[in-house]
Amino acid sequence: MGRLSVNLCGIDMDNPVIPASGTFGYGYEFNEWYDINLLGTFSFKGTTRDPRFGNPTPRIAECTSGMINAVGLQNPGVDKVIAEELPKLKQCFHKPVMANVSGFSVEDYAYTCERLDKEEQVGWLEVNVSCPNVHGGGMSFGTSPQAAAEVTKAVKAVTTKPVIVKLSPNVTDIVSIAKACEEAGADGISLINTLLGMRIDLRTKRPVIKNTMGGFSGPAIFPVALRMVYQVAQAVKIPVVGMGGVSCAEDVVEMMLAGATAVEVGAQNLVDPMACKKIIDDLPAVMDKYHIKNLSDIIGGVQNG
Protein backbone atom coordinates (compact mmCIF):
# COMPACT_ATOMS: atom_id res chain seq x y z
CA MET A 1 0.00 0.00 0.00
CA GLY A 2 1.37 3.42 -1.00
CA ARG A 3 1.04 6.77 0.70
CA LEU A 4 -1.93 7.70 -1.53
CA SER A 5 -3.86 4.47 -0.86
CA VAL A 6 -7.18 4.23 0.97
CA ASN A 7 -9.67 1.49 1.79
CA LEU A 8 -13.27 2.12 0.77
CA CYS A 9 -15.82 -0.26 2.27
CA GLY A 10 -13.28 -3.09 2.47
CA ILE A 11 -11.77 -2.60 -0.99
CA ASP A 12 -8.21 -1.25 -1.27
CA MET A 13 -7.66 1.62 -3.72
CA ASP A 14 -4.31 2.93 -4.97
CA ASN A 15 -5.58 6.48 -4.42
CA PRO A 16 -8.85 8.18 -3.44
CA VAL A 17 -9.58 9.83 -6.81
CA ILE A 18 -12.80 8.72 -8.52
CA PRO A 19 -14.30 10.31 -11.65
CA ALA A 20 -17.96 10.91 -10.86
CA SER A 21 -20.89 9.27 -12.60
CA GLY A 22 -22.13 11.06 -15.70
CA THR A 23 -18.79 12.73 -16.37
CA PHE A 24 -16.70 9.71 -17.39
CA GLY A 25 -18.97 7.56 -19.54
CA TYR A 26 -18.09 3.89 -19.18
CA GLY A 27 -14.39 4.62 -18.85
CA TYR A 28 -12.99 3.34 -22.10
CA GLU A 29 -13.69 6.69 -23.79
CA PHE A 30 -11.15 8.35 -21.47
CA ASN A 31 -8.65 5.52 -21.91
CA GLU A 32 -7.84 7.10 -25.27
CA TRP A 33 -6.38 10.05 -23.31
CA TYR A 34 -4.50 8.18 -20.57
CA ASP A 35 -4.28 4.80 -18.84
CA ILE A 36 -7.36 4.90 -16.60
CA ASN A 37 -5.87 2.19 -14.35
CA LEU A 38 -4.04 4.96 -12.52
CA LEU A 39 -7.42 5.99 -11.01
CA GLY A 40 -8.59 4.71 -7.64
CA THR A 41 -11.71 3.62 -9.51
CA PHE A 42 -14.49 5.44 -11.34
CA SER A 43 -18.27 5.60 -11.12
CA PHE A 44 -19.79 4.74 -14.47
CA LYS A 45 -22.72 6.46 -16.13
CA GLY A 46 -25.98 6.34 -14.17
CA THR A 47 -27.76 3.13 -15.17
CA THR A 48 -31.47 2.41 -15.01
CA ARG A 49 -33.57 -0.71 -15.45
CA ASP A 50 -34.76 0.31 -18.92
CA PRO A 51 -33.07 2.36 -21.65
CA ARG A 52 -33.56 6.12 -21.44
CA PHE A 53 -33.12 8.68 -24.20
CA GLY A 54 -32.91 11.50 -21.66
CA ASN A 55 -34.45 14.95 -21.58
CA PRO A 56 -35.13 17.18 -24.60
CA THR A 57 -32.44 19.64 -25.66
CA PRO A 58 -31.07 22.12 -24.85
CA ARG A 59 -30.01 20.44 -21.62
CA ILE A 60 -26.68 22.12 -20.85
CA ALA A 61 -26.13 25.73 -19.72
CA GLU A 62 -22.83 27.40 -18.87
CA CYS A 63 -22.49 29.36 -15.62
CA THR A 64 -19.80 31.33 -13.82
CA SER A 65 -17.53 28.71 -12.23
CA GLY A 66 -19.80 25.85 -13.21
CA MET A 67 -22.52 24.45 -15.42
CA ILE A 68 -26.14 23.31 -15.34
CA ASN A 69 -27.21 20.02 -16.86
CA ALA A 70 -30.52 18.25 -17.28
CA VAL A 71 -29.36 15.26 -19.32
CA GLY A 72 -32.02 13.06 -17.74
CA LEU A 73 -30.16 9.80 -17.08
CA GLN A 74 -29.60 8.95 -20.74
CA ASN A 75 -28.31 5.36 -20.79
CA PRO A 76 -28.84 2.09 -22.68
CA GLY A 77 -30.42 0.23 -19.72
CA VAL A 78 -28.87 -2.35 -17.41
CA ASP A 79 -29.11 -5.33 -19.78
CA LYS A 80 -27.14 -3.55 -22.50
CA VAL A 81 -24.63 -2.19 -19.99
CA ILE A 82 -23.91 -5.75 -18.85
CA ALA A 83 -23.87 -7.21 -22.35
CA GLU A 84 -21.94 -4.49 -24.17
CA GLU A 85 -20.42 -1.77 -21.98
CA LEU A 86 -18.79 -3.87 -19.26
CA PRO A 87 -17.01 -6.22 -21.71
CA LYS A 88 -15.53 -3.19 -23.50
CA LEU A 89 -14.49 -1.70 -20.16
CA LYS A 90 -12.83 -4.97 -19.12
CA GLN A 91 -10.40 -4.62 -22.02
CA CYS A 92 -8.87 -1.45 -20.57
CA PHE A 93 -9.73 -1.25 -16.84
CA HIS A 94 -8.45 -3.94 -14.49
CA LYS A 95 -9.76 -2.76 -11.14
CA PRO A 96 -13.18 -2.97 -9.46
CA VAL A 97 -15.52 -0.33 -10.90
CA MET A 98 -18.27 1.59 -9.12
CA ALA A 99 -21.71 0.99 -10.65
CA ASN A 100 -24.00 4.01 -10.36
CA VAL A 101 -27.69 3.04 -10.25
CA SER A 102 -30.83 5.15 -10.60
CA GLY A 103 -34.49 4.21 -10.50
CA PHE A 104 -38.03 5.49 -10.46
CA SER A 105 -39.41 3.01 -7.93
CA VAL A 106 -38.00 0.87 -5.15
CA GLU A 107 -38.46 -2.15 -7.40
CA ASP A 108 -36.41 -0.49 -10.15
CA TYR A 109 -33.48 0.07 -7.79
CA ALA A 110 -33.59 -3.47 -6.44
CA TYR A 111 -33.79 -5.06 -9.91
CA THR A 112 -30.92 -3.06 -11.39
CA CYS A 113 -28.67 -3.47 -8.35
CA GLU A 114 -29.30 -7.21 -8.18
CA ARG A 115 -28.28 -7.56 -11.84
CA LEU A 116 -25.10 -5.50 -11.45
CA ASP A 117 -24.17 -7.15 -8.15
CA LYS A 118 -23.55 -10.39 -10.06
CA GLU A 119 -20.94 -8.76 -12.33
CA GLU A 120 -17.34 -9.58 -11.37
CA GLN A 121 -16.09 -6.14 -12.47
CA VAL A 122 -18.42 -4.29 -10.11
CA GLY A 123 -16.83 -3.51 -6.74
CA TRP A 124 -19.35 -1.07 -5.28
CA LEU A 125 -22.94 -0.09 -6.00
CA GLU A 126 -23.48 3.67 -5.82
CA VAL A 127 -27.23 4.14 -5.44
CA ASN A 128 -28.42 7.57 -6.54
CA VAL A 129 -31.55 8.45 -4.52
CA SER A 130 -31.98 11.80 -6.25
CA CYS A 131 -34.44 10.28 -8.75
CA PRO A 132 -38.20 10.94 -8.71
CA ASN A 133 -40.35 8.52 -6.72
CA VAL A 134 -43.08 7.74 -9.24
CA HIS A 135 -45.24 6.20 -6.52
CA GLY A 136 -44.80 9.14 -4.17
CA GLY A 137 -45.92 12.11 -6.24
CA GLY A 138 -42.66 12.66 -8.11
CA MET A 139 -40.56 13.80 -5.17
CA SER A 140 -37.01 12.48 -4.96
CA PHE A 141 -36.34 9.39 -2.85
CA GLY A 142 -33.49 11.36 -1.33
CA THR A 143 -35.66 14.11 0.10
CA SER A 144 -36.96 12.06 3.03
CA PRO A 145 -35.18 9.75 5.48
CA GLN A 146 -37.97 7.18 5.19
CA ALA A 147 -37.85 6.95 1.38
CA ALA A 148 -34.04 6.82 1.28
CA ALA A 149 -34.04 4.09 3.92
CA GLU A 150 -36.64 2.09 1.98
CA VAL A 151 -34.46 2.07 -1.14
CA THR A 152 -31.39 1.17 0.92
CA LYS A 153 -33.12 -1.79 2.59
CA ALA A 154 -34.47 -3.09 -0.73
CA VAL A 155 -31.05 -2.94 -2.39
CA LYS A 156 -29.22 -4.50 0.55
CA ALA A 157 -31.70 -7.39 0.55
CA VAL A 158 -30.67 -8.48 -2.96
CA THR A 159 -26.94 -7.62 -3.05
CA THR A 160 -23.70 -8.77 -1.49
CA LYS A 161 -21.35 -5.94 -2.51
CA PRO A 162 -20.90 -2.61 -0.69
CA VAL A 163 -23.82 -0.23 -1.19
CA ILE A 164 -22.96 3.48 -1.16
CA VAL A 165 -26.01 5.75 -1.16
CA LYS A 166 -25.59 9.01 -3.10
CA LEU A 167 -27.47 11.92 -1.55
CA SER A 168 -28.98 15.09 -2.96
CA PRO A 169 -28.04 18.44 -1.39
CA ASN A 170 -31.48 19.87 -2.20
CA VAL A 171 -32.83 19.11 1.27
CA THR A 172 -33.16 20.88 4.61
CA ASP A 173 -31.41 18.25 6.74
CA ILE A 174 -28.98 15.98 4.88
CA VAL A 175 -27.66 14.48 8.14
CA SER A 176 -30.99 12.85 9.04
CA ILE A 177 -31.17 11.25 5.59
CA ALA A 178 -27.59 9.95 5.81
CA LYS A 179 -28.25 8.48 9.25
CA ALA A 180 -31.44 6.80 8.01
CA CYS A 181 -29.47 5.17 5.19
CA GLU A 182 -26.82 4.00 7.66
CA GLU A 183 -29.46 2.48 9.93
CA ALA A 184 -31.03 0.75 6.90
CA GLY A 185 -27.72 -0.99 6.17
CA ALA A 186 -25.82 1.30 3.80
CA ASP A 187 -22.09 0.58 3.68
CA GLY A 188 -21.21 4.16 2.72
CA ILE A 189 -22.60 7.56 1.78
CA SER A 190 -21.58 9.67 -1.20
CA LEU A 191 -22.41 13.37 -1.49
CA ILE A 192 -23.20 15.79 -2.88
CA ASN A 193 -25.15 15.43 -6.07
CA THR A 194 -25.86 18.63 -8.01
CA LEU A 195 -27.64 21.67 -6.62
CA LEU A 196 -30.80 22.81 -8.41
CA GLY A 197 -30.24 25.83 -10.65
CA MET A 198 -31.44 27.67 -13.76
CA ARG A 199 -30.42 30.26 -16.37
CA ILE A 200 -32.54 32.60 -18.51
CA ASP A 201 -31.69 33.66 -22.06
CA LEU A 202 -32.05 37.46 -22.09
CA ARG A 203 -32.74 37.53 -25.82
CA THR A 204 -35.65 35.09 -25.79
CA LYS A 205 -36.59 35.68 -22.15
CA ARG A 206 -36.94 31.92 -21.79
CA PRO A 207 -35.04 29.43 -19.65
CA VAL A 208 -31.85 28.18 -21.33
CA ILE A 209 -32.63 24.61 -20.25
CA LYS A 210 -35.65 23.02 -21.93
CA ASN A 211 -36.62 21.52 -18.57
CA THR A 212 -36.33 25.05 -17.04
CA MET A 213 -34.10 23.82 -14.19
CA GLY A 214 -31.17 21.44 -13.93
CA GLY A 215 -28.28 20.31 -11.77
CA PHE A 216 -25.68 22.97 -10.98
CA SER A 217 -22.12 21.67 -10.63
CA GLY A 218 -18.55 22.94 -10.81
CA PRO A 219 -16.08 24.80 -8.56
CA ALA A 220 -18.75 27.23 -7.32
CA ILE A 221 -20.45 24.53 -5.24
CA PHE A 222 -17.31 23.27 -3.47
CA PRO A 223 -17.85 25.11 -0.14
CA VAL A 224 -21.43 23.79 0.08
CA ALA A 225 -20.28 20.26 -0.69
CA LEU A 226 -17.43 20.46 1.83
CA ARG A 227 -19.82 21.62 4.55
CA MET A 228 -22.23 18.75 3.90
CA VAL A 229 -19.45 16.16 3.76
CA TYR A 230 -18.20 17.42 7.10
CA GLN A 231 -21.67 17.32 8.67
CA VAL A 232 -22.41 13.80 7.46
CA ALA A 233 -18.97 12.42 8.32
CA GLN A 234 -19.43 13.71 11.87
CA ALA A 235 -22.81 11.96 12.16
CA VAL A 236 -22.23 8.49 10.66
CA LYS A 237 -19.76 5.67 11.29
CA ILE A 238 -19.64 4.42 7.69
CA PRO A 239 -17.27 5.81 5.02
CA VAL A 240 -18.14 8.99 3.15
CA VAL A 241 -17.26 9.70 -0.48
CA GLY A 242 -17.03 13.45 -1.01
CA MET A 243 -17.73 15.31 -4.23
CA GLY A 244 -18.97 18.64 -5.54
CA GLY A 245 -16.76 21.20 -7.25
CA VAL A 246 -13.50 19.28 -6.79
CA SER A 247 -11.00 20.50 -9.38
CA CYS A 248 -7.47 20.10 -7.96
CA ALA A 249 -5.33 18.07 -5.56
CA GLU A 250 -5.78 20.65 -2.78
CA ASP A 251 -9.55 20.12 -2.99
CA VAL A 252 -9.07 16.38 -2.53
CA VAL A 253 -7.02 16.96 0.63
CA GLU A 254 -9.60 19.42 1.94
CA MET A 255 -12.44 16.94 1.33
CA MET A 256 -10.52 14.22 3.16
CA LEU A 257 -9.82 16.48 6.12
CA ALA A 258 -13.58 17.12 6.26
CA GLY A 259 -14.16 13.37 6.56
CA ALA A 260 -14.15 11.87 3.06
CA THR A 261 -12.43 8.50 2.58
CA ALA A 262 -12.46 8.94 -1.21
CA VAL A 263 -13.22 11.90 -3.47
CA GLU A 264 -15.13 12.07 -6.74
CA VAL A 265 -14.33 14.55 -9.49
CA GLY A 266 -17.25 15.53 -11.72
CA ALA A 267 -17.64 18.64 -13.86
CA GLN A 268 -13.88 19.17 -14.09
CA ASN A 269 -13.66 16.09 -16.34
CA LEU A 270 -15.86 17.90 -18.85
CA VAL A 271 -13.59 20.96 -18.75
CA ASP A 272 -10.36 18.97 -18.95
CA PRO A 273 -10.35 15.24 -19.86
CA MET A 274 -6.97 14.96 -18.12
CA ALA A 275 -8.24 16.42 -14.83
CA CYS A 276 -8.13 13.26 -12.71
CA LYS A 277 -4.69 12.26 -13.97
CA LYS A 278 -3.38 15.73 -13.13
CA ILE A 279 -4.91 15.59 -9.65
CA ILE A 280 -3.32 12.21 -8.92
CA ASP A 281 0.03 13.38 -10.29
CA ASP A 282 -0.13 16.52 -8.11
CA LEU A 283 -1.13 14.83 -4.85
CA PRO A 284 2.36 13.81 -3.63
CA ALA A 285 3.69 17.37 -3.94
CA VAL A 286 0.63 18.79 -2.17
CA MET A 287 1.03 16.21 0.59
CA ASP A 288 4.69 17.17 1.01
CA LYS A 289 3.77 20.86 1.14
CA TYR A 290 1.36 20.26 4.03
CA HIS A 291 3.49 17.62 5.78
CA ILE A 292 1.11 14.72 5.10
CA LYS A 293 2.80 11.31 5.14
CA ASN A 294 -0.19 9.16 4.16
CA LEU A 295 -3.60 10.29 2.89
CA SER A 296 -5.39 7.70 5.00
CA ASP A 297 -4.06 9.46 8.12
CA ILE A 298 -5.93 12.71 7.44
CA ILE A 299 -9.47 11.37 6.93
CA GLY A 300 -11.71 13.45 9.20
CA GLY A 301 -8.66 15.26 10.54
CA VAL A 302 -10.05 18.80 10.48
CA GLN A 303 -9.35 20.55 13.78
CA ASN A 304 -12.09 22.78 15.19
CA GLY A 305 -11.58 25.74 17.43
Check: CB of residue 126 under 8 Å from CB of residue 264: no
Establish whether 181 is a catalytic residue.
no
C-alpha distances (whole Å) from 166 to each of 52, 104, 285, 297 are: 20, 15, 30, 24
Query: Which member of 131, 181, 248, 276 is catalytic?
Result: 131
Check: CB of residue 96 under 8 Å from CB of residue 123: yes
- Residue partners of 80: CB distance under 8 A and separation at least 6: 51
- Taking the alpha carbons at both ends of the chain, their separation in whole angstroms is 33
Which active-site residues does the annotation give?
131
